[in-house]
Structure 1
């Protein structure tokens, strides 16, 4: 096989006209892509066609060896290239060349509000994947942050469809520029982990199209993603990995998606639905695709021998099969058969620099009373909390990585504040697991002391410190931020509230750094002067956080979701619409999205609630002033664009970045609409005293809603208002305009 493949590539490299004339069409790069696809398809046997549409190992599917198409290798995840496992087991393969750079989780990327960071992220990840021989990265994730209890929220890009759309497009473009396919997930309505295989989502068409589909649509129609992963859950009583409405009608017909629909691992449940309802490539493990049965059972998959038998019995023609294979061949030509791919790099300096820069831009300064931050050369620093010494790249499900390095927060602070005495107290115990899927943690987390003893120790040390930095939050363990389980409470786990209250009483200079991909309850907020959202920021975590605390980097992150005071401020919980109701047979949960389009700030605006921290909130070590908002026209027609301009000045003493946010309010509508919706934003970097003019442009789509009766987007003529500011609750600049008939 190896000699045959080499011979074919040698044939491709021949440049003489005579040699080119004898090239098979499917190998001739001078021929149109679709013609090459049809030629390759015509040469394939039934067995070869069946083979390429299902897995042959945990993470690979076969190519067409006889024709020189190599095997197709996928890998998790959206934050770094997962270590290799054995062919048919989840156990690590024990390789020495599969460590990686861990990039920040996607909540942190979204918090940068900077599409340039998304492009850098995708390019860097693509280079790592190339080096490792991966043709598809299973990400990015763009499911909407519907509730802060969602176990995989840390893998996604927040609550707002416009923000997620603007960030996912450059990510995909950057990744695929390296010849590595994105596989955008999990399509769609994947907002539960606990019973993710049983949840049947009941939702209005309007909420589906306005909130939960836009980021996927942008990934397809703007970024041109080559792959989409179906979700585990059901919609209209069909599993989403073979869902006629989502895959055939919306994705492939309406959006003209020409790539491959990949099942989530074990997400396929029915051969005939998989044949007819849009699934192209089935992945998983074991006989049922996920959890049980014989090993090396890939021929038993729904799209394997069961499909072949239906064709041989005459119940299906090869029409659907050929369409699936066309899509796979197109994917092969874009990836494994693309001879123009650049070279890959693994754990390069540029990748660590990218990971650090993204982390620094995404970290959010939530509160900073008395300008406690940045720290002013303290002599005695006490670092408290398990999250200061726990590797956050290990665990959490499919996002778990084997990193070349991970700088832990305690080490980052000790390295940055070398002139200070830095002490440590454990404070609380959350997780003493020493390894996950064959990857061991960097420090022993074993601890036998009680919560009372740990708190008492931290308090005594805090009394002697100039400043206390507490690293708390969640930790990617079960029921925290983790695949397979949703959180069980909004409050902090592991008696952290008691610890924080005690430390606040012992030392007024308390900085709380929250490590999580979700919001948490903060009943003690008024007693803590400085709060930082540190996310899961990957390999450079310690350096990134320390650089922000020290003021080497001026924080500029903005929240990509609304941070509630309690679950009662979240629409899904206020309406008792999460996690749904079991049917009588206890096989399916019907979960009605009763809040409809009112997710996140749309809900708090509607109910006139004041959250703990608003969507788009984020402070800086400098100050900014927005001037007068102007528009290039006051009257707009449906085929025109409208540009707003506003001057932004850095009125402080240090350089910094501000994100100018534009929301649109429809002043009179035939349907119920949110008070306002994000429709444009721009991040601007300014030196002290510098002013820049920021321009924000909208079009008809920014004024539209999805009309369920007509099944299309509608922009009604009338008066609209543009609201511009620096957070969804801080929009001082306003300007009215008309949309004419």
Structure 2
């Protein structure tokens, strides 16, 4: 069936090309004509049946074009950090291709932790090239849902807790991908901040919080990034499902933001034909319909925007105004992707792609703690290095849900360490604990069998003995991509590390002082052992080059410069969603069994409002385990006193803050200068500080650079729900500049007239 469709597409396109080469050139095929004119011409030539067909899937990951007119079909693909392997036409099962392996890039928490906008563009460009080579038209990513709780199983796919950081990192990613003629599909719009009850929850959040916290990355993706598609979410908002939501899609996205692109549904997110027609959805994928009960010739004809829509039109119950708008958007997308003759060919696994994957990993790794300078490893003193922990040998590119990948290769932490240190040092491994011995996810097989017959006591004893007889001990643990961890579809059960790792870490800390804990995860975890462990690295899921990126940091070949994109609370109750809000849903409704199906959705109220992450910790003076923006280095940096180019500004003015950053240590490195704004006196509750600017500065030893960050009224504003407008109140403000939210180095006061 797959072969048949490709041939049909080929012949229809060949026919269109032959038409274009004749003297009677159709306008819709004429590159010299404006796209708007070409779209109108194509639309005028299409039957109602052809238009409706373009609105819904024809397979698991494709939708039809118009073969009669030579308009190609669209092919979509997961996901945000690598191009997913091919599946069977009508099934989720693997197609069994041998040429669909790719480079796995670090997950988006790692990209966001680089705080490097140029790196985000390189990442997007490389990923887009691989998608283009694989003949994909829409890449289903990136994800920018805000990190509200550390239990969200899908946080590893997103860009952290701060809307400003996510906004600034997502835009270059989009530009990079779309430079290849491949559309991004920024997801999941909106308020999909947990996986538990994601299909059956109604989110209740005030308008100010919606606009200040949860919408900004999507708005940036649309108004600055020009993402050609946006993916709707599963949850309900105002009692309507997000993928067919009047307020989110029509009023905000297509109304206020003037979005001209295509809204696609998440797979299985549509459940009502008339709402899908009228409430902003353009393309429907993955709906759970069988087609047979309606007597249609295939399941896809029974999608909500398929035969049911056509029947409503033919019966006169609905018109074609919405239909023409949807198809117009899809045709515009076609001229940027499937019918774009100028797009590059793309490539897979080039040296540049491999280097990008490794560099993102190096820049994203965060040095959380480094007491007594345990790292970098002193090769002259490291005759014996012990590597302990299952995550040192476990493949992580498979698993996690829809972002599971079939990578060409994955350098494991143990292999990366052996490659870097093996010539000078003896490297020995002990497992330490048993987590997930499985090696197959979404039909992709890792080829690993990590079954273990020894008891937990035996494993611990072996690990401790090895640690005692080594010069350095590197424990590689954390989470994995199994159920109830970093995984789509269901959240974590608890904040602590699984598999009894706390006991292993505590024992190893007693056995050797030259001890570093490496945490592989996309989420914050509890660290009851933190006072006893001298060094901690937050390592993320780093993809194909994971082991090489880690070894580079351990050796000091690369100086760590990553900064946390979200807060690590000491305990779960320190997180505002768990302290003030409802998670995983309303307790009374939970007791009644609500949320089990779509007929009985459960309410989730965001009582914490705008006080998410560091906004809560810093305002309430709750000391975090590690703060937002935190990240150490193997060198030291000094901030000079900041100055503003003016002390008073008007509502239409900009203000620039200038300061110096100097590398006062002995190694080249990079520091991230972060600018936060404090509204000293406000008529509404505001956080103690909010991120409004940042720059990553690379410095050689002794080098000093001047840094300037400019802001305008937008950085001083809050959203007034009553006025439905952004308001900057006149009065005194403070610019706070430092290298984390809890480490401010210099301040400047100024006044807004």
1: distance between equivalents of 2:275 and 2:383? 66
Q: Does 1:400 align with 2:408?
A: no
2: distance between equivalents of 1:296 and 1:7? 27
2: distance between equivalents of 1:145 and 1:732? 26
Decide whether the 8 Å contact of 2:401 with 2:442 is kept in 1.
Answer: no
Partner of 1:391: 395
Decide whether the 8 Å contact of 2:269 with 2:287 is kept in 1.
Answer: no
Decide whether the 8 Å contact of 1:287 with 1:294 is kept in 2.
Answer: no
Q: 1:334-345, aligned counterparts within 5 Å?
A: 334-345=336-347
Distance 1:180 1:727, change over 3 A: same
Question: In the TM superposition, what is the alpha-carbon distance from 1:288 to its structure 2 partner?
Answer: 6.7
Q: 1:41-56, aligned counterparts within 5 Å?
A: 41-56=43-58
Partner of 1:673: 686
Q: What stretches of structure 1 move > 6 A for 4+ residues in a row?
A: none
Partner of 2:448: 443
2: distance between equivalents of 1:294 and 1:5? 28
2: distance between equivalents of 1:416 and 1:288? 54
Quick one: which of 14, 19, 26 aligns to 1:6? 14
Decide whether the 8 Å contact of 2:80 with 2:403 is kept in 1.
Answer: yes
Quick one: which of 599, 606, 612 aligns to 2:619? 606
Partner of 1:698: 711
- The secondary structure found in structure 1 opposite 2:332 is helix
Partner of 2:483: 478
Quick one: which of 457, 460, 464 aligns to 1:452? 457
1: distance between equivalents of 2:483 and 2:540? 17
Question: In the TM superposition, what is the alpha-carbon distance from 1:456 to its structure 2 partner?
Answer: 1.3
Quick one: which of 467, 473, 495 aligns to 2:472? 467
2: distance between equivalents of 1:588 and 1:188? 17
Partner of 1:246: 248
2: distance between equivalents of 1:699 and 1:169? 19
Partner of 1:267: 269
Partner of 2:509: 504
Quick one: which of 704, 711, 735 aligns to 2:748? 735
TM-score (norm 1): 0.97
Decide whether the 8 Å contact of 2:618 with 2:742 is kept in 1.
Answer: no
Q: Which moved more, 1:579-588 or 1:423-432?
A: 579-588
Q: Does 1:321 align with 2:323?
A: yes
Decide whether the 8 Å contact of 2:142 with 2:170 is kept in 1.
Answer: yes
Question: In the TM superposition, what is the alpha-carbon distance from 1:434 to its structure 2 partner?
Answer: 2.4
Question: In the TM superposition, what is the alpha-carbon distance from 1:294 to its structure 2 partner?
Answer: 11
Partner of 2:223: 221
Decide whether the 8 Å contact of 1:207 with 1:597 is kept in 2.
Answer: yes
- The secondary structure found in structure 1 opposite 2:744 is coil
Q: Does 1:563 align with 2:565?
A: no
Decide whether the 8 Å contact of 1:135 with 1:179 is kept in 2.
Answer: yes
Decide whether the 8 Å contact of 1:661 with 1:682 is kept in 2.
Answer: yes
Question: In the TM superposition, what is the alpha-carbon distance from 1:702 to its structure 2 partner?
Answer: 0.1
Decide whether the 8 Å contact of 1:286 with 1:295 is kept in 2.
Answer: no
Quick one: which of 409, 412, 419 aligns to 2:416? 412
Partner of 2:597: none
- The secondary structure found in structure 1 opposite 2:709 is strand
2: distance between equivalents of 1:192 and 1:302? 26
Decide whether the 8 Å contact of 1:455 with 1:499 is kept in 2.
Answer: yes
Decide whether the 8 Å contact of 2:57 with 2:300 is kept in 1.
Answer: yes
Distance 1:691 1:442, change over 3 A: farther
Question: In the TM superposition, what is the alpha-carbon distance from 1:409 to its structure 2 partner?
Answer: 0.3
Q: Deviations over 1:400-432 (max 9, x none)?
A: 000001000000000000221111111111111
TM-score (norm 2): 0.96
Decide whether the 8 Å contact of 2:15 with 2:70 is kept in 1.
Answer: no
2: distance between equivalents of 1:305 and 1:322? 16
1: distance between equivalents of 2:581 and 2:652? 42
- Where in structure 2 are there 5+ consecutive unaligned residues? 1-7, 595-599
2: distance between equivalents of 1:401 and 1:189? 26
2: distance between equivalents of 1:432 and 1:301? 39
Q: Does 1:205 align with 2:207?
A: yes
Distance 1:345 1:295, change over 3 A: farther
Decide whether the 8 Å contact of 2:78 with 2:139 is kept in 1.
Answer: yes
Partner of 1:370: 372
Question: In the TM superposition, what is the alpha-carbon distance from 1:509 to its structure 2 partner?
Answer: 1.4
Question: In the TM superposition, what is the alpha-carbon distance from 1:444 to its structure 2 partner?
Answer: 2.0
Decide whether the 8 Å contact of 2:581 with 2:605 is kept in 1.
Answer: no
Question: In the TM superposition, what is the alpha-carbon distance from 1:8 to its structure 2 partner?
Answer: 2.2
Partner of 1:330: 332
Partner of 1:175: 177
2: distance between equivalents of 1:564 and 1:96? 44
Question: In the TM superposition, what is the alpha-carbon distance from 1:437 to its structure 2 partner?
Answer: 2.4
- The secondary structure found in structure 2 opposite 1:284 is coil
- The secondary structure found in structure 2 opposite 1:734 is strand
1: distance between equivalents of 2:265 and 2:165? 26
Distance 1:345 1:10, change over 3 A: farther
- Where in structure 1 are there 5+ consecutive unaligned residues? none
1: distance between equivalents of 2:602 and 2:620? 28
Decide whether the 8 Å contact of 2:581 with 2:608 is kept in 1.
Answer: no
- The secondary structure found in structure 1 opposite 2:160 is coil
- The secondary structure found in structure 2 opposite 1:732 is strand
Partner of 1:723: 736
Question: In the TM superposition, what is the alpha-carbon distance from 1:40 to its structure 2 partner?
Answer: 0.6
Partner of 2:578: 573
Q: Does 1:355 align with 2:363?
A: no
Quick one: which of 148, 151, 160 aligns to 1:149? 151
Decide whether the 8 Å contact of 1:389 with 1:443 is kept in 2.
Answer: no
Decide whether the 8 Å contact of 1:169 with 1:223 is kept in 2.
Answer: yes
